Chains A and B, each alone.
Chain A
């Protein structure tokens, strides 16, 4: 029996296999990438939520990043080096997220960090990026404080984000809401950074667009809520005409199901869910998703009608036998953005890659996108739409898409405080 040498050997085999795969595949017509002569794989540490009722998100993130890795390695890697990914569960906990980031950089030898679902974790990991001094690309955590405070005000230049921030949930949603026949709004949202900040933004901007609206009530549900009855009764007791929610994942599924039982959809004129078009929510609710519900996300597979998007959706379906969810697109984009930036910088040194990422233009599946220099935020537009059941698809889809230009709903430097 051969002596067992545990993980070192396995890891060695893994990386050589990856390298071999990268070398063996034909280098198709992509612009020849300059040889960086690293003689080692480029390591990317990915963290996302992989357990519990929101674990579906991390799974979609993992699939998107893995697909991008396979594509990049199929094209010969980055500058002659294959990519190696490592995934860890962030558990949506600040301490776990920080520990993961430290592990990736200090123990595993990560060159870049990608991922993070929770806004709170994104802020905490962002804080320690100067000491780790690696580029972090956030693919889901949406608080505007990440780009506005950490990057723009405090110049933590290692932090980037390729997903739409809470502008999508709080400002684009207000642009949709201003044209709805609803004056009295209430919310049922998660009781943490993301839930509070998006409701605050929604109120401030909707008030600006339509001064006669009222905000009649709010109920914030703690992480892990499985019974929304009390929240629904409380909010419906205030007689709102519209419900705005930023529940997501399994909690969005549960909340909508229970709201249906309480006849909320019959007794209100509009129901909006900021992350309601995520694939796991569409699949999880299935036939129970009420037609006409307004939903959005950080990307929707049906938009835009571009060759890049078609290619991505097809490749994703072929690889995973499922339509991509938005964390799949954002993590896929993060990996490809790193490739483009490293090739432009001709180096994996943090400072050079940061310079290459600033102002970088990408033709991502979600459309054309620029990484803004001032706050390291990817600028691209994602539609809101209404839920519709279409027999051609295995899950409900979005119709009546409302797309706003990024000029209309992205906050711009110097980021005046949100009043309200």
Chain B
């Protein structure tokens, strides 16, 4: 589900803006760190879930407004270079400010229980994450399908030139989409904070998985990101049970298989 949140933001940004945001994993990391600071200061996990992603959204705004919008017209390699530069800067900034030692606040007491079903155990925290993920999914769906702003986003994603011709101010729209995507990554990070050690560089691991998910599901498709994240999760779990030697490769094999059959991904739009 963390993967879904990160992948959703990544896919959204790519779908609308055609920017592959390498720094998306770093935004996830920043979400975790900011949330951790809030926990340290206020002691409240719930407040951290709100403030962490909000601050990351602010960072997203600065990234888009200050830097990214200057390279929209440049070749894609420049965008990649720019976002990759952010990865390096964020990693080092975090190391400088927080040190390289892992941090992790205790799991909130209300969520540290577990449901026991026969011999299998479902931790309350996992259930909580499932609910948050589903809620975010529903919220996004409602926002994109049922609101006028969502309509504009979908229109721009479908045909940028036409949307612009119809009077959509794409620069403002891009800023908002980037902020939303950043907040999603930040939320993923904030949610992971109590159950995963936070450390500089933690974003680099998730960004690769998120790319696999997004490519598997279809670039730009939120439904694809959701299904892709589920698929990768299941593959890892069952892969470990039945063929642990191949576990590492399974995700990539699945991606390759899907790309051979459907080069545009499971739910992606076929390029004309």
A binds B: yes
Given contacts A257-B195, A284-B103, contact A262 B206 (CB under 8 A): no
- B92-122: CB near A (< 8 Å → 1, else 0) gives 0001000111111011000010101001110
Smallest CB-CB separation from B124: which chain A residue?
Answer: A261
Q: How far is the CB of A248 from chain B (nearest CB, A)?
A: 11
Set of chain B residues within 8 Å of A236, measured between Cβ atoms: 121
Q: Does B62 contact A (CB under 8 A)?
A: no
Looking at the assembled complex, report how far the CB atom of B132 sits from the nearest CB atom of chain A, in whole angstroms: 16
Question: Which chain B positions have C-beta within 8 A of A258?
Answer: 195-196
Q: Which of B137-145, B177-185, B236-244, B262-270 contacts A (4 or more CB under 8 A)?
A: B236-244
Kindly provide the distance from the CB of A117 to the nearest chain B CB, expressed in whole angstroms.
Answer: 13
CB of B201 within 8 A of CB of A51, answer yes
Q: What 0/1 pattern do residues 200 to 242 of B give for CB contact below 8 A with A?
A: 1110111000000000000000000000000000001100110
Q: How many residues of A contact B (CB 8 A)?
A: 40
Q: Counting CB contacts under 8 A, is A288 at the interface? A: yes
Shortest CB–CB separation between residue B194 and chain A, in angstroms? 7
Name the prevailing secondary structure of the A interface residues. Answer: helix
Residues of A within 8 A of B95 (CB): 55
Q: Which residues of B contact A283 (CB under 8 A)?
A: 101-102
Q: Which residue from B106, B192, B195, B237 sits with its C-beta under 8 Å from A286?
A: B106
Known: A52-B204, A284-B101. A250 touches B199 (CB 8 A): yes
Whether A254 and B196, one on each chain, are in contact in the complex, defined by CB atoms closer than 8 angstroms, is yes
Judge whether A220 is part of the interface by a CB distance below 8 angstroms.
yes
A55, B201: Cβ atoms closer than 8 Å: yes
Query: How far is A286 from B107 in the complex, measured between Cα atoms in Å?
Result: 11
* A249 interface residue per 8 A CB criterion: yes
Whether the Cβ atoms of A58 and B121 lie closer than 8 Å is: no
**Is A284 a contact of B104 with CB atoms below 8 Å?**
yes
A280: chain B residues within 8 A (beta carbon): 101-102
Residues of B with C-beta under 8 A to A222? 247-248
Residues of B within 8 A of A239 (CB): 119
A260-B104 contact, Cβ under 8 Å, with A219-B244, A222-B248: no
Query: Is A53 in the interface zone, CB < 8 Å from B?
Result: yes
Whether B100 contacts A59 by the Cβ 8 Å rule is yes
The answer to the question of B43 belonging to the interface, with a C-beta cut-off of 8 Å to chain A, is: no
Stretch from A225-233, A304-312, A330-338, A364-372 contacting the other chain: A225-233
- With a cutoff of 8 Å between Cβ atoms, the chain B residues found around residue A263 in the complex are 114, 116, 121, 123
A250-293, CB under 8 A of B: which get 1 and which 0?
A: 11011001101111000000000000000010011111100000
- Of the A-B pairs whose beta carbons lie under 8 Å apart in the complex, a sample of 8, sorted by A's number, is A53-B205, A56-B100, A234-B240, A237-B120, A257-B107, A258-B195, A258-B196, A261-B123
Using a CB–CB cutoff of 8 Å, the interface residues on chain A facing chain B are 50-53, 55-56, 58-59, 219-220, 222, 224, 226-227, 229-231, 233-234, 236-237, 239, 249-251, 253-254, 257-258, 260-263, 280, 283-288
